[in-house]
């Protein structure tokens, strides 16, 4: 088991999920619900399913496309998002 990859994946997902729309939705749901445990399990399940789909799609792309191309497209996509965030006022 690659513990470095597990740690890197955890940190990347944890930081990227802080303050996003899904966390705000969980806050709103738990604030208006009498069962915060149900909200926790529902949102945790949704994050697990979304992560599973991401891993399966990523694995599929890894078999179809060369690694450098997948990394390049991902880097380009993140750069575009960063530029859009910087210049959107």
Residue 79 has pLDDT above 90, yes or no: yes
What is the tens place of the pLDDT at every residue in 55-71?
A: 999 888 888 999 899 88
Asked whether 33 and 27 are in contact (CB, 8 A), the reply is no
- Reported as a pLDDT band with limits 50, 70 and 90, residue 89 is low
The DSSP secondary structure of 20-37, one letter per residue, reads SHHHHHHHHHHHT-S-HH
Residue 52 has pLDDT above 70, yes or no: yes
Domain ranges for the chain:
3-64
């Amino acid at each position: 088991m690659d513990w470095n990859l597990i740690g890197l994946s955890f940190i990347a997902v944890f930081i990227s999920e802080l303050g996003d729309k899904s966390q705000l939705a969980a806050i709103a749901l738990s604030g208006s619900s009498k069962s915060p445990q149900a909200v926790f399990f529902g949102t945790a399940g949704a994050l697990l399913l979304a992560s599973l789909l991401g891993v399966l799609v990523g694995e599929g792309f890894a078999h179809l496309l060369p690694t450098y191309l997948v990394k390049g497209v991902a880097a380009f996509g993140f750069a575009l998002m960063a530029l859009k965030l910087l210049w959107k006022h």
